[in-house]
Structure 1
């Protein structure tokens, strides 16, 4: 695998935003996260096919999230020193392999293997793609991260819809057709990798101390990172409970069909994708901290009301929750990248990885909780998590880029 000269990581970013490259990695992000979402959306199919319990459903998510989370910071740290542009198609190939294994899995253990392969693909994809987004940003770091993230969130939203249209009627084997989308994404990523490998400005000039020196003391940086991780925990643990069991919640509480419940899941996830667009650009204008504060703590009243709502208000509240809460991640990630300059890959890997890990852990623990106390109890318990957004007050103010 060709290695980018580490010295290139010390040169300044281009002055103009490369929207073509941002569009390409956003499209690949759409495919990557659509595969993850398909796995989530066909849980009712897998539950019926293999007679799974809710804890087993949660373990599938945990397997995906653990392989995606544990490797990401290590891959990001390694590629900060030795960037690997051509790793992107390799990561998507792992995702494609996971889909094919999932399509023909004969038992629960093989489904776990498929989830692990899809998670491995994500662990390779996210750190390098985040670095490319920053490189192509032209200084508009929040905008670039939002454009990158919106592709992933759109993919997450589309997954339940294609599951309802294709996989539910035609069965588990129809998942194999989506490997073609992964193959197309590999071709797109090969072009992005070529651009990245040959670009003269692959990072920030280390010699420029003003550009690379941390703006806070090590102790303040560690404290800020701890606060950001608490916020990631609250967001993704909540999202894990809301999304992993949403179809079951709607089927059990309102008597919806599997396909109708998946359409409702699509509506929630599409609202999340739409909200992603706002967090980064607004953070570029007014600062990251207000966006982080408002996007997590701001959904608390709606989250607390959700377990008591009828179907109409359940739909309405989940749209609001998805739209507002999704704006947080781009702002959190760029805030952390500015907090620890020169470590884009490691920071991206840490935060993507921790997000996936919390999502997986949340799905497994809440699956156990659902088996013992019911789905309604899960939604009542997780409703208090957005209140942790209050800790955003402890974040130090960042300098404007």
Structure 2
């Protein structure tokens, strides 16, 4: 299978997983309408999806660094969809939290291994990793459309239909896993060793920038539907449009990020994107009327230009722990911000939603300041994976560069 086809299938599979992260926010207006949840209550649902995911993703990253686990891609995809499908069936708030948390664990298990597989199949290409990330963005963008089509017509009782993308995504993983096995060989660990030292200090700074970016994205994802109704009117339709714009702009940003990184270095591209995001978030919070949607789109693009760049930067800062790097930079980017959502919801309940969202303007400022201190890493050279066959040891080139074991 060609690299393009492998990345395309992996990208579509990524969409079938991340649609469930977008689905949590998309269900918020329906939980409010059918179950009369307040801002704090719906923030708790977002938190349930985020907190286990935030904790579990580094754990899965560590496991991925120790053992290749490509089988986890279809399994985690189904788990992510099943949790969301069950969340609408019970009026019990604790059960809703449990099912949403189950979905979060599925999403957490998917991202570290998928980032490792994408790095192998893309052979270090920034553009290919950008297209892989686009899949997740398209999944987010499809979430409000899917939820509106299913739930708006028949209520939360139709939520089991939401499992269908997960079933499709799990099937799409299978040819990718066969291609990976052919590439690495049946007896290999599934990936190349690397030459290079970990830059833990830079990775910590990068991770903090990711956290601040995540707070903006998840905070807006949670409340943008409700906020749009206040800023432009139009009821739930206005909210669905705002959420779709927030998510679809991410696809544009991810493609642009990979292309821009081929012309300028990744740190510079990310730094300028965060400067754009500062003004865009301010416009989203304070500018009313139709221009609101334009600022939402600019916010999304600004947040997602560095999205795939975070992943490759993290993997280059931690060349010996690419699974952990992928779990933190790819997974936590869209989950850990949920930890701040209950605080935003509580402030909104006590004051107003605009007052609660205003501090989000500070988050891209902090990410920009951190990127001003980061170096552009040199991509490490992969060492070919080795598999034992009888008395002979076969070396297989799995990256774009080759360095023989034990030699220079």
Q: TM-score, normalised by structure 2?
A: 0.87
Distance 1:232 1:111, change over 3 A: same
What is the CA-CA distance between 1:182 and the residue it aligns to? 1.2
- Which residues of 2 match residues 151-162 of structure 1 at below 5 A? 151-162=135-146
Aligned to 2:392: none
Contact 1:99–1:178, Cα closer than 8 Å, also in 2: yes
Counterparts of 1:197 and 1:68, CA distance in 2: 28
Q: Is the 8 A contact 1:100 1:175 kept in 2?
A: yes
Residue in structure 1 matching 2:124, options 139, 162, 185: 139
Q: Within 2, Cα distance between the matches of 1:353 and 1:88?
A: 14
Match of 1:5 in 2: none
Equivalent residue, structure 2, for 1:203 = 191
- Asked if 1:397 corresponds to 2:376, the answer is yes
Asked whether 1:263 is paired with 2:265, we answer no
Which residues of 2 match residues 187-266 of structure 1 at below 5 A?
A: 187-200=171-184, 202-204=190-192, 206=193, 211-214=194-197, 221-266=199-244
Distance 1:223 1:297, change over 3 A: farther
Q: Give how far 1:357 is off.
A: 4.3
Residue 67 of structure 1: CA displacement? 1.8
For the residue of structure 2 that corresponds to 1:136, the secondary structure is helix
Alignment partner, residue 381 of structure 1? 359
Matched, 1:57 2:42: yes
Quick one: structure 1 residues 100 and 298, their matched pair in 2 at CA, closer, same or farther if it must change by over 3 Å? closer
| C-alpha distance in structure 2 between counterparts of 1:37 and 1:181, whole Å | 13
Asked which structure has the greater RCO (Cα within 8 Å, sep 6+), the reply is 1
2:396 alignment partner in structure 1 = none
On the 8 A contact 2:344/2:357 being kept in 1, the answer is no
Counterpart of 1:111?
A: 96
Q: Deviations over 1:358-378 (max 9, x none)?
A: 321122221112111210102
Deviation by residue 1:122-169 (Cα, 9 ceiling, x = unmatched): 1111111111111111331x2222111100111101111222233122
Equivalent residue in structure 2 for 1:347, among 317, 322, 325: 325
Structure 1 unaligned spans of 5+: 1-15
Quote the offset at 1:32 in angstroms: 1.0
| Distance in structure 2 (CA, Å) of the matches to 1:83 and 1:160 | 34
| Whole-angstrom CA distance in 2 between matches of 1:122 and 1:29 | 10
1:163 aligns with one of 126, 132, 147: 147
Local SS of the residue matching 1:199: helix
The TM-score normalised by the length of structure 1 is 0.88
Kept in 1: contact 2:74–2:171 (CA 8 A): yes
User: Which residues of 2 match residues 225-374 of structure 1 at below 5 A?
Assistant: 225-374=203-352
- Quote how far apart the aligned CAs of 1:348 are: 0.8
Give the secondary structure class of the aligned counterpart of 2:123.
Answer: coil
1-side partners of 2:216 and 2:89: how far apart? 31
Q: Provide the alpha-carbon RMSD of the alignment.
A: 1.9
Distance 1:289 1:258, change over 3 A: same
Cα distance, 1:300–1:109 mapped onto 2, change above 3 Å: same
Find the aligned partners of 1:91 and 1:194 in 2 and give their Cα distance: 18
**Alpha-carbon shift at residue 228 of structure 1 (Å):** 0.9
Structure 2: gaps (5+ residues): 381-408
Question: Hey, what's the Cα distance between the residues in 2 that align with 1:247 and 1:321?
Answer: 15
Contact 1:297–1:390 (8 Å) recurs in 2: no
Deviations 1:339-363 (A, max 9, x none): 1113111111122343244321122
C-alpha contact 2:250 2:301 (8 A) present in aligned 1: yes
Query: In structure 2, how many angstroms separate the alpha carbons of the residues matched to 1:138 and 1:336?
Result: 16
Indicate if the aligned counterparts of 2:310 and 2:330 stay in contact, CA closer than 8 A: no
Query: Higher helix proportion, which one?
Result: 1
Other structure's SS at 2:285 match = helix
Q: CA deviation at 1:75?
A: 1.1
Separation in 2 of the partners of 1:93 and 1:266?
24
**Runs of 4+ with >4 A deviation:** none
